[in-house]
Amino acid sequence: MNSFNHYSLGSCGEWLYDSVAGIGWDMDAPGYKHIIIRPQPGNELSFARRNYDSIHGRIATSWKRDGHAFTLVVTVPANTTATVYVPAADALHVTESGRPAASAEGVNFLRQENGVASYEVGSGTYRFGSILNN
């Protein structure tokens, strides 16, 4: 036996990667050519860190919630793109490497809805910061 991640246990691994760490795949771009990064901090979790070695390279996320402050570090491998969803009370206060995210190089603001600001990014490492509603 080489796996304890059986579907009968609620697919724990998928939940940890997709919901907690926020590493997801785009059905329209197979093989992680386009990545969805959407961590879902909540309840008692205050941080998470995970990586996934895709066919294009390492995808990594690390997030931390400290009171109302939220930090998300994302690594997107070469020759891929990602949509990054940053939990935020207001997109105007989201930063990337200390600068307003909307004017950061390689970061394109998409929209703000339901307490989340979304951005399109290319390959590289990004450090987002925001203020949470709760």
Whether 1 is in a domain gets the answer no
pLDDT number for residue 1: 44
The CATH number given to whatever domain includes residue 46 is 2.60.420.10
Q: Is residue 101 part of a domain?
A: yes
Residue written as token pair 């910061």: 129
Task: pLDDT tens for the chain, 134 residues: list them.
Answer: 445 555 555 466 665 655 656 788 888 888 889 999 999 887 788 899 999 999 999 999 999 999 999 999 999 999 999 999 999 999 999 999 999 998 999 999 999 999 999 999 999 999 999 998 86
When divided into structural domains, the chain yields a total of: 1
Domain coverage including residue 19: 7-131
Say if residues 76 and 124 touch (Cβ distance below 8 Å).
yes
Asked if residue 40 belongs to a domain, the reply is yes
Task: Answer yes or no: is 2 within a domain.
Answer: no
